[in-house]
Amino acid sequence: MADYRDIADCRDIEGALERGLPLDGAGVPEHLSMCETCGALARDGGALARALSAAAPQVAAPSGAGGDSRMGLDAGFAATLEQQLEKERGLRGRLRALPTWARVATASLAGLLLVFFQPAREPVGLPRPVALSVLLVIMVAAVALLLRPVARAPVTRLRTAAVAAAALAVPFLLALGLFGPRPGFNAHWGGAGTAAACFLYGALVAAPFFVLLRAFDRWERVPLPNAVLFGAATGVVAGLVLELHCVLTHPAHVALGHATVGVLWAAAYAALSSRSMWPASH
């Protein structure tokens, strides 16, 4: 196997990350997969590289260094790198370090287990096959996008937002019967109390999926479109659960009791993520 230094140059990669340039040169993915240092610098869209670049000028050179600030910069690099590496220890660090295929497969399988194995309730009947297929495809697509490896070209915010919009919209399309009716089910409204019960059940049942998905992803500060997609994907899992376990098919019930779960998760996590990016007040 070729040494990674023959595939791409570490200094070129570090310079590109510091300037915010895309890592799209020949051999870069292979280099990032074999060079631990460059891989750490490129993670989260180059967040570590930018942090080091910003911190380096603030580290003063030690006295007697003859004007050479190299030792000061090395000290700043070591301190910042140690802080970042500390975050990679423990359970979450091990989960984030798993291969992408393992993270995507495990998160998708966990979603399926939550949907099809509910100990408190038995399925009330066969779901609409088209509806079930569409929801499953959206769930897997969202998981694959959110857990995308850092060595690959970043997904545009527009594409992430489009997947999130689809994940939020499809449950409302279910309420309108776009994917066909379920004959023999109760088409009564059921009242606000019943809708609230379904909403709470779906939101709580899907919560472990959100926790696992967030544990697998490699973002430190989640971008807003990704935060919305995290919540929307959680709502898709809730929609799948309620598609299997709720007997009511009235449009108002499905819209208010089922489809709004994803909206709440998306809005709550987007607000939380945005707040974490606000600068601290002094």
| 42 and 101 housed in the same domain | no
In a domain? residue 63: yes
Buried b (16+ CB within 10 A) or exposed e, 94-121: ebbeeebeebbbbbbebbeebbeeeeee
| 174 and 50 housed in the same domain | no
| 121 and 72 housed in the same domain | no
> Taking every pair of C-alpha atoms in the chain, what is the biggest distance, in angstroms?
86
pTM above the 0.75 mark? no
What burial class does residue 135 get, using C-beta atoms within 10 Å of its C-beta: 0-12 exposed, 13-18 middle, 19+ buried? buried
Distances in whole angstroms, Cα of residue 113 to Cα of each of 64, 123, 246: 64, 13, 17
- State which of 86, 108, 126 marks the end of a domain: 86
- State which of 28, 57, 86 marks the end of a domain: 86
User: Quick one: pLDDT at residue 265?
Assistant: 94
User: Quick one: pLDDT at residue 156?
Assistant: 82
| 100 and 235 housed in the same domain | yes
User: Quick one: pLDDT at residue 243?
Assistant: 81
| 101 and 228 housed in the same domain | yes
Q: How many domains does the chain have?
A: 2
User: Quick one: pLDDT at residue 200?
Assistant: 94
In a domain? residue 260: yes
| 62 and 155 housed in the same domain | no
User: Quick one: pLDDT at residue 82?
Assistant: 62
In a domain? residue 282: no
Q: Which residues contact 265 (CB under 8 A, 6 or more apart)?
A: 203, 206, 210, 230, 231, 232, 234, 235, 238
| 145 and 56 housed in the same domain | no
**Long-range contacts, stretch 72-75, CB < 8 angstroms, 24+ apart:** none
Average pLDDT, the chain: 75
Range of the domain at 8: 4-86
How confident is the chain (282 residues) per 10-residue block, as mean pLDDT?
Answer: 48 69 69 72 68 52 44 54 61 80 92 76 57 88 87 78 93 78 60 89 93 85 89 93 81 89 94 63 34
pLDDT (tens digit, 9 = 90+) per residue, 243-273? 887 878 788 888 899 999 999 999 999 998 8
Q: Hey, what's the torsion of the CAs at 81, 86, 92, 96, to 10 degrees?
A: 20
Residue 140: its H or E element: helix 129-146
Task: Let me know the angle formed at the C-alpha of 101 by 95 and 104, rounded to the nearest 5 degrees.
Answer: 70
In a domain? residue 238: yes
- State which of 27, 55, 86 marks the end of a domain: 86
